[in-house]
Amino acid sequence: MATKIKIVKAGKSINSTDPRDYLLHSDYPMLKYHNEYTASVTFNPGDITKTTSVAHNLGYVPAFVSYGKRSNDGANFIIPSIPYGIGEFDYGESWADDTNIYFRVTLFTGYSSRPAGWNQDVYDFSDYYSSFDNLNDHWSAGKTSFGFGGAFRFTGIALTKNQSISAADIEVGVTAKGTGTGDVKMRHYGIDEDNTGDFTSGPMGRSKTTAVVYQNHSPSTPNYNFSFDVKSQVEEIIARAGWSSGNAMGFITEDNGSPDNVWVVARNSFNSLRITKPGTLTVNFRVIVFKDKIA
């Protein structure tokens, strides 16, 4: 006859067949605590995914329970939480192997095809314009027998007046190029207005920022993307007295001496403004590891 050890809850029978009635019952093993570990990751602007690990030194895959720790209220929550982990915009994962417990956080970048990382916003263009034929159905820059340029407009820019930014650039989706050789030479300005209007009226004559960025770009075979820096132009626009968050901003590109038939066009493509702001995000983890082997 097997010897058993039982400690029954107050008011319950020592002969009960309900495991809930026992504080301890030698027929029912318990998870055996091994250790508790903590770890953290820090997201810098633009980071999307961060992974870290802690060593449990057991030599096999143990049972474990991982937690993320919210930065706003210090609450611990089990990973994976449903549907996402660290906040409403991201998710966390945790897994074990025979040496480590791993944590990974991936920021939820939205359903856009072009993800943005921590403290980084990506805006799809709302308007574009080409001075080649004065039409608002594409963007262009370069020269055929004459130089021409283009403009982009982005709406709903979530920057307050004089807000600090660490980077800003525009990514252009090139869909065609000229047959000439050499670089497309460009001057990129901001439109020096508080809330620049749409491009149903041509934007090329609008006031330009004093901030300007010069770029020589060697065209590749379309389709491809290239980008240009607009940080100083954005800073000048959001420093305007009448700027407020949610306004629209625009950018004008002019030819700066491209060779004949060296040009690029963006039509029916993704064109975006990416703004990166300073500041980091630290995500903390905790894991309780048991000595119980699962694999």
**Of residues 25 and 267, the one with the C-beta less far from other proteins:** 25
Site string for other proteins, 27-56 (x = CB under 8 A): -xxxx-------------------------
**Of residues 176 and 288, the one with the C-beta less far from other proteins:** 288
Burial 67-95 (b: 16+ CB within 10 A, else e): bbbeeeeeeeeebeeeebbbbeebbbebe
Residues 51-80 that bind other proteins (CB under 8 A): 61, 63-66, 78-80
CB of 24 to other proteins, least distance (A): 6
CB of 72 to other proteins, least distance (A): 23
- Residue 146 contacts by C-beta under 8 Å, 6 or more apart in sequence? none
- φ, ψ of residue 19 to 5 degrees: the values are -60, -20
**Residues touching other proteins, count (CB under 8 A):** 36
CB of 235 to other proteins, least distance (A): 36
- If DSSP codes are grouped into helix, strand and coil, which group holds residue 60? coil
d(CA 267, CA 133): 13
Longest pairwise C-alpha distance within the chain: 102
Binding flag, residue 197, other proteins (CB under 8 A): no
**Of residues 89 and 214, the one with the C-beta less far from other proteins:** 89
Binding flag, residue 285, other proteins (CB under 8 A): no
CB of 256 to other proteins, least distance (A): 42
CB of 58 to other proteins, least distance (A): 12
Burial class (CB in 10 A: 0-12, 13-18, 19+), 7: exposed
Dihedral through CA 261, CA 264, CA 265, CA 269, nearest 10?
160
Distances (CA, A) of 63 to 104, 214, 256, 290, 291: 18, 58, 64, 5, 7
Beta carbons of 171 and 274 less than 8 angstroms apart: yes
Binding flag, residue 98, other proteins (CB under 8 A): yes
Binding flag, residue 158, other proteins (CB under 8 A): no
Candidate residues 47, 93, 194, 198; the one interacting with other proteins per rule CB under 8 A: 93
Placement of tokens 């004093």 in the chain: 210
Q: Applying CB under 8 A, which residues contact other proteins?
A: 7, 9, 18-20, 22-25, 28-31, 61, 63-66, 78-80, 82-83, 91, 93-98, 102, 104, 106, 293-295
